[in-house]
Amino acid sequence: MALKTRQEKKPPQPVRGSRKSKFQADLAPAEDRMVRGLKQDLQLNSNTDFLSDALALFRWAVGERKRGHHIFSETETGERKELVLPRLERVAPDLALPRVEISWTERELESLAALASSEPAEPTEALIRAMRG
């Protein structure tokens, strides 16, 4: 006589990707204030909403840079500022930069070598004024 044992049914495993994941960030106080300020400006009540919107914006920016597009902010008067983030530039396609061939004379090469190996020059008053704005 054979005995049948009853096996307990295991609960079905959740499908990968259907489970919500938790996200925690350790922010410096200034960054925390910035996030809170942005959430208030955007009238967002939760960190989840904030992160979802931030991800959508960042995903768009990555896609634009991957296509070689530049991202600009433009004022009503037409003044433009380009958004440049080192991490975004990592995904930008390598561009073939123009190559210029310079035929240097022996004298020009010696002059360049002397300039490159000499002590740096002191900044002029005009340069100092220009840098101060």
Check residue 94 and give its pLDDT. Answer: 80
Domain assignment present for residue 4? The answer is: no
Domain tally, the chain: 1
Q: Taking the mean position of all CA atoms in its chain, how far away is CA 45?
A: 26
Residues 6+ apart with CB under 8 A from 76: none
Tell me the per-residue pLDDT of 112-121, one tens digit each, with 9 for 90 and over. Answer: 999 899 988 8
Q: Which residues, at least 6 apart from 71, have a Cβ–Cβ distance to it below 8 Å?
A: 61, 64, 65, 82, 83, 88
Within a domain: 9:
no
Residue 115 belongs to some domain of the structure: no
Domain-located, residue 105: no
Residues of the chain below pLDDT 70: 1-17, 95-98
Q: Is residue 111 part of a domain?
A: no
Say if pTM beats, i.e. exceeds, 0.75: no
Which structural domain, as residue segments, surrounds residue 33?
29-93
**Whole-number pLDDT of residue 75:** 95
Q: Which residues pair with 77 in a beta bridge?
A: none
pLDDT tens digit string along 42-62? 999 999 999 999 999 999 999
